[in-house]
Amino acid sequence: MKKLQELCRENIWNLAPYSSARNEYNGHVAHVFLDANENPYNAPFNRYPDPLQEEVKTLLSKIKRVPIANIFLGNGSDEAIDLPYRIFCRPGIDNVVAIEPTYGMYKVCADVNDIEYRPVLLDENFQITSEKLLSACDQNTKIIWICSPNNPTGNLINRNAIEEVLNKFEGIVIIDEAYSDFSSEKPLREELAKHPNMIVLNTMSKAWGCAAIRLGMAFASQEIISLFNKVKYPYNINLLTQKQAIESLKDPVAVEKWVKILLLERSRVMNAFKDLTITEKIYPTDSNFFLVKVTDAQAIYDYLVEKGIIVRNRTRVQLCGNCLRITIGSKSENQELLAALRDLK
């Protein structure tokens, strides 16, 4: 890995971050707040939230087995996806490399930040080699994106290929583990010490059932996290989100139960799809969804919409022609989907 200062944009490295009122007295106990031009009425919503979300991170640290200093919390994973572009990539000069197909926000953020985006096509099994990814890089490649389990394909990317990229690439490697709670593979966030150039993303939106509160997370070296905190908006996680996250994180057992139920339902639904006349191929998955190739994805999608059932039509995505992405819902929702497809003529 190159030195972090070499990878970082010079203006970001030299940036003097905004110092919020709540940062300046950090470490002292206070009860009278006359520093932030807040209204003294309408507690608790009149006060700015904790800018570094210490209570949330304390709970997350125990669950994710990552030190607090190695955790960044963002307004959804989208903030944690956007920030590396702003920190490491010079607009109009640098580029990033990513597997294809994958989650679309990596490219959207590249386009927003005027960064060249280089997709590298997966093979017919939705896998990639380190050689293929690295061959797409040049001296201006700052980031390699790998989503594993991948979206929309659902499968884990070969761990050996990921580790080879981590060991050989001199820039930043970002592993998006949004769906790792549905996989039995050891999450890479537990190996941060081995890979100082690695950033691992995770979210409260999937297994934790908290998509509405918009809380994403990034795990990385303390030095990279300090850059994230330097560039982020001062109060990026609002009080309501922090409160709900704290309540959810107090009951990880409930999440474990949800995951077990969803995995059982996933097996049941995928087995049922094997008997449907519309099914041509079901792809293996390590996520709470699966990809299925059908006879006519657009027609089936339109039919389901008319029934009030929404799945994701991925037929325009590379390697996903005539494919639908099916999220595993509750047992009753899954039954309604299957009944509708059995009735399809």
Contact 305, 336 (CB under 8 A): no
**pLDDT for position 29:** 83
CA distance 280 to 285: 16
The whole-model pTM stands at 0.96
DSSP state of 287: S
| Four-point Cα dihedral 81, 86, 91, 93, nearest 10 | -80
**pLDDT for position 13:** 97
Domains and CATH numbers, the chain: 4-250 (3.40.640.10), 253-343 (3.90.1150.10)
Q: In what order do the strands lie in the sheet with 215-219?
A: 71-75, 215-219, 198-203, 172-176, 141-147, 95-100, 116-121
Give me the phi and psi of 107, to 5 degrees please.
-75, -40
**pLDDT for position 41:** 98
Give me the phi and psi of 279, to 5 degrees please.
-80, 130
Q: In what order do the strands lie in the sheet with 323-327?
A: 279-282, 289-294, 323-327, 312-313
Q: Which residues pair with 132 in a beta bridge?
A: none
Crossing angle between the packed helical segments 331-342 and 297-306, to the nearest 10 degrees: 120
Q: Which residues pair with 71 in a beta bridge?
A: 219
* Residues of the chain scoring pLDDT < 70: 27
**What phi-psi label fits residue 214: left (phi over 0), alpha (psi between -120 and 50 degrees) or beta?**
left
Q: Which two tokens stand for residue 205?
A: 């939106």
Q: How many helices (H) and strands (E) does the chain have?
A: 13, 11
| Four-point Cα dihedral 104, 170, 72, 204, nearest 10 | 40
Convert the pLDDT of each residue in 304-313 to its tens digit: 999 999 999 9
CA distance 69 to 273: 45
- Reduced to 3 states (helix: H, G, I; strand: E, B; else coil), residue 267 is helix
Q: Which two tokens stand for residue 146?
A: 């790998």
Closest by CA to 241, choosing from 1, 18, 49, 64, is 49
